Structure 1
Amino acid sequence: MFYEPRRRNHGLPHNPLKAIVAPRPIGWISTLSADGVANLAPYSFFNLVSETPDIVMFSSHGLKDTVRNVMATGEFVCNLPTLELMEAVNLSSKPIPPGESEFDLAELERAPSRLVKPPRVAAAPCALECVWIETTELRDRHGATTGRHITYGEVIGVHVDEAYVEDGRLRTDRMRSLARCGYFDYAWVETLRSVPRPT
């Protein structure tokens, strides 16, 4: 089977591309609006893209509340979603009016951040406090705008629940970190295998 993404000529009822590029980490991004309303939304086009400096990115289809809040305040938090939080993650993706909060919708407790104003998800075992660097609109190979916006932020503070630290290492498998796959599918980390790099 071969298909061209722009032509969608794969003959399947759903696009398989996001099932191919999977699992993808989820950036559960919390922000504050200019009016102080806490927003929380999951983004599966998310990742750590640099270290020293530590930079994360997330991509949004359109200038959603999250992106507008980041651009207005210059701050956001990436909360780590886990298997135990999957239903809340999914619920927080529901479109609601800008004056309402997904924290309230999903009945999630907020925790204060140290260096930025947006709150963290108290139940998330890890969180990254970030300062906005820039937001850029993606263009395709012909230079046309796409309506997809990538937001970059520098991590200036890291929260880690020490219950998941063992022998000096953070245990991703014990946290059961959540990821997105294709369609409406989720995955989580339960097994790790360490393979040292060759010398």
Structure 2
Amino acid sequence: MAKLVIDFDEINEKSRMKLVKGSVIPRPIAWITTLNENGSVNLAPFSYFNAVSPTLVIVSFQRNGAKQKDTFLNITREKEAVIHIVNKSLIEEMDRTSSPLERNKSELELTHLTVSPSMKVKTPGIEEALIRFEVVLEESLTLKNYDKTEDEADLVILRVIGSVIDETVYDSTKGYVLSDVLQPVARLGGTEYATIKKIPFKREF
């Protein structure tokens, strides 16, 4: 089987991005509510997202030129947010909230979603989400581009301090999330999404 050898120094930025984003899949989606400066609720999805410890998660926000994402600015100002796990029934609503809006405009106006008070943070959550995490800011980092010539993204490390979870997707006796009931949605390359299908597997050791 032939292999292609690709030197990232010899391809352009778009080709690098397509190769990495198309290979590192599926990527979970952080659907994040934050508070805008005027107190309105910002809601947006991000797929550079994952867990890095039992109670720490990371989210990276890509810059548009020098412009930083509203969600990142809100998190660094308010020191908190709410992260929702997107399930199959919410994919259309989630997609609507990816539309760029003016600063301090709420993406909720594009949806039929309901806000719900949080337990431990001021930022409200989305009632229709089956799982949501209340988080506080631990640390933020600025990430350079490949050539190290400019700032490319802003990364936050967030501590999970509470969760609101629908009883239908949680086995409270064993403490397990029921992924087959939750049907979480993940990001593929381009604008494609996927759900999870379990693979039968038995460990031999």
Query: What TM-score do the two structures reach when normalised by structure 1?
Result: 0.88
The letter of the residue matching 2:57 is V
Residue 65 of structure 2 corresponds to residue 64 of structure 1: no
Tell me by how many angstroms 1:140 deviates. 5.4
The letter of the residue matching 2:53 is S
Match of 1:93 in 2: 98
RMSD, aligned α-carbons: 2.4
Match of 1:55 in 2: 56
Q: Secondary structure at the match of 1:154?
A: strand
4+ runs deviating over 6 angstroms: none
Candidates 159, 162, 165, aligned match of 1:160: 165
Match of 2:25 in 1: 22
5+ long unaligned stretches in structure 2: none
Count of paired positions: 195
Alpha carbons 1:128, 1:158 under 8 Å: kept: yes
Candidates 131, 144, 169, aligned match of 1:126: 131
Match of 1:175 in 2: 182
Match of 1:102 in 2: 107
Q: Distance in 2 between matches of 1:71 and 1:18?
A: 26
Q: Distance in 1 between matches of 2:106 and 2:10?
A: 38
Tell me by how many angstroms 1:102 deviates. 1.0
Alpha carbons 1:131, 1:154 under 8 Å: kept: yes
5+ long unaligned stretches in structure 1: none
Query: What TM-score do the two structures reach when normalised by structure 2?
Result: 0.85
Q: Secondary structure at the match of 1:151?
A: strand
Which structure has greater helix proportion?
A: 2
Tell me by how many angstroms 1:198 deviates. 6.2
Tell me by how many angstroms 1:33 deviates. 1.6
Tell me by how many angstroms 1:15 deviates. 2.1
1:76-135 per-position Cα deviation (integer Å, ceiling 9, x unaligned):
011010111111111111000122111121221111111011111111100000011121
Match of 2:39 in 1: 36
Alpha carbons 1:115, 1:157 under 8 Å: kept: yes
